[in-house]
Amino acid sequence: FTLSLIALVDLELTHVRVNKHKPWIETSYHGVITENMDTVMLDPPLVALDKDAPVPYAGEICAFKIHGQEAPFEAEVLNRTSGEGVLRARGPIDCEQQKEYTFIIQAYDCGASPSGANWKKSHKAVVHIQVDDVNEFSPVFREPLYHATVTEGKIYDSILQVEAWDQDCSPQYSQICNYEIVTQDTPFAIDRNGNIRNTERLSYDKQQHYKIMVTAYDCGQKRATESVSVHIDVKPVCKPGWQGWNKRVDYEPGTGSKQLFSKMHLDTCDGPLSSVRAMVELQTSHIGKGCDRETYSEKSLQKLCGAASGSTDLLPAPSASTNWTASLLTDNGRDSDLIFRFDGRQAANIPEWVVPQNLTDQFTIATWMKHGPSPGLRAEKETLLCNSDKTEMNRHHYSLYVHNCRLVFLLRRDFIQLDSFRPAEFHWRLEQVRSPQVTYEPYLVTDDWPIHPSEIDVQLTVGACWQGGEVTTPRFTQYFRGSLSGLTIRPGKIATQKVISCLQACKEGLDISSLESLGKGIKFHFNPAQSVLVMEADDLESINTAMTKVSYINSRQFPTPGLRKRHITTTDQCFGEDTCISIPDIKAMVMVLPPSEPRITIAGVERLVWPAAQLRAPVGVALFKDIHIISTVTKTDATFSIVRRPGVLELMHNLDYCDVLVIGEELEPEQESLEIHHSSLLGKHLDATNSTSGISIYGVDSMAHYEQAIRQVRYRNWKPGGLSERRFRLSCSELNGRYTSNEFNFEIGIVRSSEAVEHVNHMAVQSQFMRPVHHPLVVHTVNSDHISGTPPAATVVIVMCIATLVVIVVLGIYRIHTTHQDSSKEDGEGRKDPEMDWDNSNLNITVNPMEEVREEEPEKEEDEDEEEDELAGELSSAESENSDEEEEASIQKGRVKGKLEWDPSTLPY
């Protein structure tokens, strides 16, 4: 027993001597754990060492113990021999509750024996653990609804600020990095701090309330689960600008000047100002040639304005004789002269027989041009008119073109005397060309050598330039893009400023009524076309008064209906240099109502018969001696017939052409003709052309002048042969065919017997547009033709009829004598119609006792016709116009005395 005890004690002492060292660990550890995870990542790793190794137990690590603050972690030994360990969380770690932990850890060895006796512990080490956040929460707005009110017309830096927050613990996931407006197409924007601003000026009249939805994003790009609603109210304020104006003003044609802004005034909301400038613009570029001009042909307009004759029309309407414009594009949608549209691919070669041979030192080129921006940065030349070599070479003798916002005219003189520099290119700015009332000198003139003479033919082109030489295939080049109308060239004459101003004069525009009421505080200025009016004033009262005087006027009798835009631009000046308030522009319109369309009616005798001898006479016969052109217009449920009679208003009405066409076979030039003497057109704005198919009288002139001219149209047939009749058709037009007359048909009957002529003319067909005038004596006259048809058995009746016949014969002779005297008196007073006496004599027929008288009259009538034709050629236009009413009254008086009692069927009224 004693021996065993000694051995045990010795064993214990041996173990004590074996576990001589303490375990060793680092002095501090740093760890990271992701929330909701259990393993801590330590730096450095958790490892304990013991110098007693490899002695069992004494050199092994059995535990790690944590001390302090009830840390929710525990340490576990992974390998006793190596001393490796791991730090774990005892439960869920929530960063939102605690972001980091600090505690003490120690390592323990296994002691000196399996029982763990005499274990040793290491020194204390500090452990710092940081909890890594997980983006588990979405942003949440602090308010369920945001509301703000703004004043219209202002731009805000910040209307209001919305704010969202996030429950995540880390800066990355808890901070809000972005806000976004979810609602589309709103005039608002939001920055990253939640400040909402408006991107445009808000209008109370346009929208009074806005509702937008806003969302938020944290820095981990997690979006808010629910967007927040933001309500923004717009409140009205005093708006500087024009008040009391109508967006549309209707204009009735023929009413003269109409005020556009009768109740309009400028409200500055009590803002200070030192001056106001208002520009009123009437936009009519879509009407005709820039405004509502008279829609007559360019040739007629030039004649009305007094332009010299001899101009050559290079862009006429396509026809059999003017076919070079047939392939060009035309703008038929405008109420104006024919407009040709060039799109950079079309051009026309002018025939040689049309081209003037020499421009001479003085010439006029006139055209209407509409040109838009040229494509490309460096635009090419765009040719309106070009005269170049036809073959072999490519010399430009003269041309008119647009280049880089300039209008350029090139004129290369011929080498005649001196071989020296001469002016060859003339440049104008396009803004100068737009003001034709002002004569601008070219701002640049370039000299060049003259062209040496050659035998090469030239080619005149419109819309491009002909390149006939120096290329493999002749072709067009330098195409024009735009519209042209009325392109004419006139050698030997320069148009005067008066003619140019007349040609471009606009029939519609702005006007100011009661200029005397404007006062001295207002300044105003019109542009030449009166489409732009600029007014300046020093105070509100003056500018308001001036605006109420602005009116629209259209002097055309039949204006083009449709819209005319109005644009008002206003600027004000404060007492400093800058503008004080912003005044919005006004966009309105003038609606020109459709005019009351006239009905042009041609009336007269529709059939007359002449003897063949009359047709063979040198002067022939007048076809339309009794013609009348009447205009009627329907308005306000009442029809007003416009005739030249006292007590009835006369409608000022012009015609622009009348055509007399042959119905049936065309005229045989070897035996018949249809003509009008040149003297019949003197003093009038009329010209005439004739052919085998008829006569065309054209030019802008009054209906009275057209009547006078048409009455002088004569038909002659010096070989009537078996011809028994000829038929003609007369029609007239106003405004280039916008209004046309009825087709008046007239028929000539050709017979060999004068008695037959009298009978047919007595029964002449009455026009449907003429009112017969009834006379009591007509009944007796007509009945006297049938006395011979009384039964012979009634002797008493026969005696009475014979007595009656004698009385009628005496009265007839007396009336014929009176009529002849009246006709002679009218000749002495200078009648307007030189054939009126001939007309009376031919229609004065009823009974046989007058036969001797009538047989003596034809020669006298022919002599009188020749004398009156000479007299008509000597009359001036002024004399003719001043005596229209007196002559008409005289003619009507002669007709009533000379033939109403005998032949009422041929009278127009």
Give residue-wise pLDDT tens across range 465-509. 988 877 788 888 999 988 888 888 888 888 887 887 777 778 888
Residue 348 Cα to chain centre, angstroms: 27
| pLDDT computed for residue 44 by the predictor | 92
Q: How confident is the model at residue 863 (pLDDT cuts 50, 70, 90)?
A: very low
**For 307-356, what is each residue's pLDDT tens digit?**
777 788 888 888 888 889 888 888 654 444 678 889 888 899 999 888 87
* pLDDT exceeds cutoff 80 at 178: yes
Please, are residues 731 and 743 in contact by the beta-carbon 8 Å criterion? yes
Q: How confident is the model at residue 711 (pLDDT cuts 50, 70, 90)?
A: very high
Residue 10 Cα to chain centre, angstroms: 125
**How many CB atoms sit inside 10 A of residue 531's CB?**
20
Q: Is 703 found in the same domain as 626?
A: yes
- The more confident residue out of 719 and 285 is 719
Please, are residues 619 and 721 in contact by the beta-carbon 8 Å criterion? no
Q: Is 208 found in the same domain as 310?
A: no
Mean pLDDT of 881-890: 39
* pLDDT exceeds cutoff 60 at 775: no
Q: How confident is the model at residue 631 (pLDDT cuts 50, 70, 90)?
A: confident
- Of 101, 132, 163, the residue that ends a domain is 132
* pLDDT exceeds cutoff 80 at 63: yes
Residue 900 located in a structural domain: no
* Percent of the chain's residues with pLDDT above 90: 21
196-210, 703-717, 734-748, 867-881: which has the minimum mean pLDDT?
867-881
**For 259-283, what is each residue's pLDDT tens digit?**
999 889 988 887 777 888 899 999 8
Q: Is 688 found in the same domain as 671?
A: yes
Structure tokens at 702: 């009054």
Q: How confident is the model at residue 9 (pLDDT cuts 50, 70, 90)?
A: very low
Residue 602 located in a structural domain: yes
Mean pLDDT of 133-157: 90
* pLDDT exceeds cutoff 80 at 434: no
Residue 335 located in a structural domain: yes
**How many CB atoms sit inside 10 A of residue 848's CB?**
10
The structure tokens 């007003």 sit at 640
| pLDDT computed for residue 357 by the predictor | 66
Residue 623 located in a structural domain: yes
DSSP class of residue 897 equals: I
| Domain with 393 in it | 298-504
Q: How confident is the model at residue 364 (pLDDT cuts 50, 70, 90)?
A: confident
When divided into structural domains, the chain yields a total of 5
Q: Which residues lie closer than 8 Å to 96 by C-beta, 6 or more apart? A: 35, 167, 168, 169
Residue 570 Cα to chain centre, angstroms: 24
Q: How confident is the model at residue 804 (pLDDT cuts 50, 70, 90)?
A: low
Q: Which residues lie closer than 8 Å to 387 by C-beta, 6 or more apart? A: 355, 396, 397, 398, 399, 458, 459, 460, 461
| pLDDT computed for residue 635 by the predictor | 57
- Of 504, 524, 546, the residue that ends a domain is 504
**For 505-561, what is each residue's pLDDT tens digit?**
788 889 887 766 676 778 888 887 788 999 988 888 888 888 888 999 988 888 888
268-272, 677-681, 690-694, 745-749: which has the minimum mean pLDDT?
268-272
Mean of per-residue pLDDT scores for the chain: 76
| pLDDT computed for residue 374 by the predictor | 66
- The more confident residue out of 291 and 659 is 659
Mean pLDDT of 818-822: 46
Residue 6 located in a structural domain: no
Q: Is 248 found in the same domain as 177?
A: no
Q: How many residues does the chain have?
A: 909
Residue 895 located in a structural domain: no
β 607-611/744-751 pair status = parallel
**Phi, psi angles (nearest 5°) of residue 2:** -65, -35
Residue 901 located in a structural domain: no
Q: Is 669 found in the same domain as 582?
A: no
| pLDDT computed for residue 288 by the predictor | 64
Q: Is 465 found in the same domain as 389?
A: yes
296-305, 612-621, 635-644, 777-786: which has the minimum mean pLDDT?
777-786
Q: Is 451 found in the same domain as 339?
A: yes
Q: Is 434 found in the same domain as 312?
A: yes
Q: Is 127 found in the same domain as 28?
A: yes
- The more confident residue out of 142 and 839 is 142
Mean pLDDT of 411-417: 69
Q: How confident is the model at residue 114 (pLDDT cuts 50, 70, 90)?
A: confident
- CA-nearest of 45, 78, 46, 43 to 62 is 78
Q: Is 720 found in the same domain as 628?
A: yes
Highest mean pLDDT among 513-527, 603-617, 764-778, 879-893: 603-617
Q: How far is CA 8 from CA 55, 653, 674, in A?
A: 20, 153, 167
Amino acid at 527: N
* pLDDT exceeds cutoff 50 at 897: no
Q: How confident is the model at residue 893 (pLDDT cuts 50, 70, 90)?
A: very low
* pLDDT exceeds cutoff 80 at 385: yes
Residue 74 located in a structural domain: yes
* pLDDT exceeds cutoff 50 at 64: yes
> CATH number of the domain that 126 lies in?
2.60.40.60
- The more confident residue out of 641 and 561 is 561
- CA-nearest of 764, 739, 765 to 601 is 739
Mean pLDDT of 574-595: 82
DSSP track, 769-827: T-PPPP-HHHHHHHHHTTGGGS-TT-HHHHHHHHHHHHHHHHHHHHHHHHHHHHHHHHH
| pLDDT computed for residue 516 by the predictor | 67
* pLDDT exceeds cutoff 50 at 767: no
Q: Is 228 found in the same domain as 328?
A: no
Q: How confident is the model at residue 719 (pLDDT cuts 50, 70, 90)?
A: confident
**How many CB atoms sit inside 10 A of residue 591's CB?**
13
* pLDDT exceeds cutoff 50 at 104: yes
| pLDDT computed for residue 730 by the predictor | 94
Q: How confident is the model at residue 890 (pLDDT cuts 50, 70, 90)?
A: very low
- Of 132, 161, 178, the residue that ends a domain is 132
- The more confident residue out of 728 and 68 is 728
| pLDDT computed for residue 433 by the predictor | 64
Q: Is 90 found in the same domain as 29?
A: yes
